[in-house]
Structure 1
Amino acid sequence: MANYIHVPDEAPAVPKIDVTVDERDYRSGALKLIKELRPSWKPSEVKVKFFTDGITNKLLGCYVGAVMQDVVLVRIYGNKTELLVDRENEVKSFRVLHAHRCAPRLYCTFNNGLCYEFLQGTALEPEHIRSQPVFRLIARQLAKYHAIHAHNGWVPQSDLWLKMGKYFALIPKYLKDPEQNTRLSTEVPSPQCLREELVWLQQSLSVLGSPVVLCHNDLLCKNIIYNQGAGNVKFIDYEYAGYNYQAYDIGNHFNEFAGLNEVDYSHYPDRAFQLQWLSSYLEAYKEHKGQGSEVTDGEVEVLYVQVNRFALASHFFWGLWALIQAKFSTIDFDFLG
């Protein structure tokens, strides 16, 4: 059984550069990286654009000239995110997905982050991911990910329950800020209650027969780049990528229809929309697996049931994640909320 990611032999090696980028004074560190990656660029001409979408890491784009044509993205890992993210696994996922033309090129890693290729296109909003033709493109692209086969025909195992167990061990019992601590004790179920839910989830979902595939595991709107000219979507950010239940990845994406800052679960996709989405997904998945593209109503219905049950596990996973972030993150976001 394999639950690690095998990088193809032909995948280009990724250099490690011994630089630490200070998130408060990022320009000097970023320029050291650029000197290695783009030696022809004059340091005085390098422009830095700060992206503010992320709530885990800091992201900047370095480029020269008037337009953002050749851009090196520099991602600085958030405080204590190594507790949440297996960085070695992230690099392997990046390389595997790039080898299958599903991801941009990873230029290097550095002491507290990585540099990679910028993808042209627009990061999506919740209203875009439900629109035609975008939702079909997303469904087909996710199917392409899920069809990437494990090395040498090994049967992969999901690490979902292992990861949730690790997260569970890290959730704070109290928070330093008195107001936050009051919210923690009054608004969040007790650890004992959460543990019972976790056991129930594992027992209920493990038996549903959802295949274990290579998943993105964090398919929120901002991680989907739509290139209208090319007529395609690409996914970015592979921090949580790994072997997991197919239905979890889709259920997690459907949860993201509710948005991130202004959360509204009335936007969770209804049955009619889901059936269209899942049909597009299954057609592409079966094509990639060499199983034809004929999809029956029964197959769509089975997946529909699995996805909406695994959406519960996605809520629980990010709930644990947010409790840990509430304790450690230096980013200004209401993780406890």
Structure 2
Amino acid sequence: QLFTDGITNKLVACYTDERMADAVLVRVYGRKTELFVDRETELRNFQVLRAHGCAPDLYCAFQNGLCYQFLPGIALGPDHVRDPHIFRLVAQEMARVHAIHTNGSLPRPILWQKLHKYLTLVKTDLSPKVSNPSLQQDVPSLETLEHELAWMKETLSQLGSPVVLCHNDLLCKNIIYDRTQEHVRFIDYEYTGYNYQAFDIGNHFNEPSKDTCGDQPQLAAAACPVVTAAGRLGPGQERHEGFVLRAGMLRAHFSSVFYLLQASHFLWACWGLIQDKYSTIDFNFL
């Protein structure tokens, strides 16, 4: 069975049982994805997540892909992530991933390295000699983008968001909900790495925003009940759900999520420009 939801790689399920009980997945990397995905790091992160029960079994890796266990369940849609029961499961699984520490040293966020790499890759595409007229009209100049990136790094680095192991690509289709086990699992670890915790959360709200909020994607985070809880708690108020939650702490966290969401927009905009040039997948990246 060929899965058609992916916009980076080709994914095929191989099985003999119609119920897919014996299914394995074969993922073939998309064209030129090695330009912006470190495959050795992806494989290492896959193994780390598996060791902590957060990823399926990995059967083998080959030159241009992977073969791994099929996780039963449904890939989430925009409506699922608004369901109070499911978004709490997503938050719990995200917390499990964020709690993994493996490198034995103080981790550094990969965000700035990624952004600089992506912007370097799009420089040629935005050059007046090769860029198509629509790109020159709709995309800011290189000087503007470089200025924006410098401003983001200087400003967002000071927010104090913890650096933790992040998935960094939690769009709906990368979250599998298993009704029988009542849990969710994350898939596809191409962008996994240590990053700002608030980026991972903000990026999760940002990724499905086009589907959930139409022409106003900036409302995606504000529409989520988990985040808007910050606005409902009074000064010094606490709630007990296994831990103490203070309004000031939640508001500060919400602020970091909101600001780092801007970096998510910037990153995926650059990614879209790169994919539009190289990908053979039928998708409007721009």
| TM-score normalised by length of structure 1 | 0.77
Answering whether residue 50 of structure 2 is matched by residue 98 of structure 1, we say yes
Indicate the residue corresponding to 2:238 in structure 1: none
Indicate the residue corresponding to 2:143 in structure 1: 192
Instruction: Specify which of 166, 181, 204 is matched with residue 155 of structure 2.
Output: 204
> For residues 331 and 180 of structure 1, do their structure 2 counterparts lie closer, same or farther at Cα, with a shift above 3 Å needed?
farther
Indicate the residue corresponding to 1:275 in structure 2: 227
Is contact 1:274–1:304 with CA below 8 Å preserved after alignment?
A: no
What is the correspondence of 1:207-246 to structure 2 with a 5 Å cutoff? 207-246=158-197
Q: Distance in 2 between matches of 1:274 and 1:309?
A: 17
Indicate the residue corresponding to 1:156 in structure 2: 107
Is contact 2:82–2:224 with CA below 8 Å preserved after alignment?
A: no
Letter paired with 1:313: A
Q: Distance in 1 between matches of 2:227 and 2:32?
A: 39
Q: Distance in 1 between matches of 2:225 and 2:212?
A: 23
* Deviation digits for residues 119-146 of structure 1 (CA, Å, limit 9, x no counterpart): 0000010111011200111011101100
Q: Distance in 2 between matches of 1:301 and 1:180?
A: 42
Structure 1 residue matching 2:152: 3-state secondary structure:
helix
Indicate the residue corresponding to 1:16 in structure 2: none
Indicate the residue corresponding to 1:299 in structure 2: 249
Q: Distance in 1 between matches of 2:27 and 2:54?
A: 19
Question: Percent same amino acid among aligned pairs?
Answer: 52
How far has the Cα of 1:230 moved from its partner?
A: 1.0
Q: Distance in 2 between matches of 1:312 and 1:173?
A: 24
Letter paired with 1:158: P
How far has the Cα of 1:265 moved from its partner?
A: 3.1
Q: Distance in 2 between matches of 1:57 and 1:237?
A: 10
Answering whether residue 255 of structure 2 is matched by residue 308 of structure 1, we say no
* Deviation digits for residues 224-252 of structure 1 (CA, Å, limit 9, x no counterpart): 00011211000000000001000000000
How far has the Cα of 1:192 moved from its partner?
A: 0.8
Instruction: Specify which of 74, 80, 92 is matched with residue 140 of structure 1.
Output: 92
> For residues 70 and 140 of structure 1, do their structure 2 counterparts lie closer, same or farther at Cα, with a shift above 3 Å needed?
same
Indicate the residue corresponding to 1:83 in structure 2: 35
What is the correspondence of 1:42-191 to structure 2 with a 5 Å cutoff? 49-152=1-104, 154-174=105-125, 181-191=132-142
How far has the Cα of 1:272 moved from its partner?
A: 6.7
How far has the Cα of 1:182 moved from its partner?
A: 1.4
Q: Distance in 2 between matches of 1:264 and 1:238?
A: 29
Structure 1 residue matching 2:78: 3-state secondary structure:
coil
Q: Distance in 2 between matches of 1:271 and 1:125?
A: 16
Answering whether residue 277 of structure 2 is matched by residue 327 of structure 1, we say yes
Structure 2 residue matching 1:60: 3-state secondary structure:
strand
* Deviation digits for residues 9-49 of structure 1 (CA, Å, limit 9, x no counterpart): xxxxxxxxxxxxxxxxxxxxxxxxxxxxxxxxxxxxxxxx0
Is contact 1:172–1:323 with CA below 8 Å preserved after alignment?
A: no
* Deviation digits for residues 310-330 of structure 1 (CA, Å, limit 9, x no counterpart): 000000000111111111111
Is contact 1:137–1:232 with CA below 8 Å preserved after alignment?
A: yes
Q: Distance in 2 between matches of 1:175 and 1:212?
A: 32
How far has the Cα of 1:174 moved from its partner?
A: 4.2
> For residues 172 and 213 of structure 1, do their structure 2 counterparts lie closer, same or farther at Cα, with a shift above 3 Å needed?
same
* Deviation digits for residues 167-220 of structure 1 (CA, Å, limit 9, x no counterpart): 1111054489x9981111111111111001000111110000001000000000
Unmatched segments (≥5 aa) in structure 1: 1-48, 280-286
Unmatched segments (≥5 aa) in structure 2: 232-240
Is contact 1:157–1:244 with CA below 8 Å preserved after alignment?
A: yes
Q: Distance in 2 between matches of 1:302 and 1:150?
A: 27
Larger-Rg structure = 1
| TM-score normalised by length of structure 2 | 0.90
Letter paired with 2:273: L
Q: Distance in 1 between matches of 2:213 and 2:2?
A: 22
Is contact 2:213–2:220 with CA below 8 Å preserved after alignment?
A: no
Count of residue pairs brought into register by the alignment? 275
